[in-house]
Amino acid sequence: AETVKAFGGIDILVNCASAIFPAPTERIDLKRLDLMWQITTRAPLLTAKHCVPHLKRSAKEGRNPHILTCSPPVNFYGDWPQPSNPNYMVCKMGMTTGAMAMANELRAYGVAANTLWPATAIATSAMNHLAGNDPKTIDDVYMAHGRTPEIQADAAYAIFTSKSSGFSANQCIDQDIVVRAGCQDLSIYDYSRSGVTREDRLKHILRL
């Protein structure tokens, strides 16, 4: 209600919050599993519950409404997203299933729903947490195959500026979207180009 009051409506919903506690099945912690479910899978549905009426209004007023959920493609036969632990995957793929179901439910109203997932590791606090917030480990991981968050931002912008009545129910990979939008050099997003020294690179993502 406060958002609508301040901005006059809602045109975009982004579901990107997540709790990450991957663990082998025999070592699942019930409290952490419940927390992952509540934040990662349940919250996007409840947030949408409150946003959908405003998104429908946005569509009627021609403002091109979108729902974007940060979750992996549902594909049981290729390479699994990482971390691939079942307790984490059931929550993340639940996000994707919910997004695809919303796309089907809202298509007739002109509200789009898509998902977005990175092709590589992205230099974020969530990934830093998985690396134990150790500066050397984090830098080594990203130097090998990491990109900066700008690729996700550019991909999201391309999705938001697409026609909501035509681009929906897609399980998107960031690099595919930016290439489709005209990017000819994906290396501009490489973490390795964010600084000459480890300190230069890490100052963008860690408090050293």
Q: Catalytic residue, from 77, 88, 189, 191: name it.
A: 88
Tokens of 207: 């408090």
Contacts 24+ apart (CB under 8 A), 188-192: 189/147, 189/148, 189/150, 189/151, 190/146, 190/147, 190/148, 191/123, 191/142, 191/143, 191/146, 191/147, 191/148, 192/142, 192/143, 192/146
**Among this protein's residues, is 88 annotated catalytic?**
yes
Instruction: Please provide the size of the chain in residues.
Output: 208
Distance, CA of 65 to CA of 188 (rounded, Å): 29
Can you give the C-alpha Rg of the chain in angstroms? 18
- Name the residues annotated as catalytic: 88
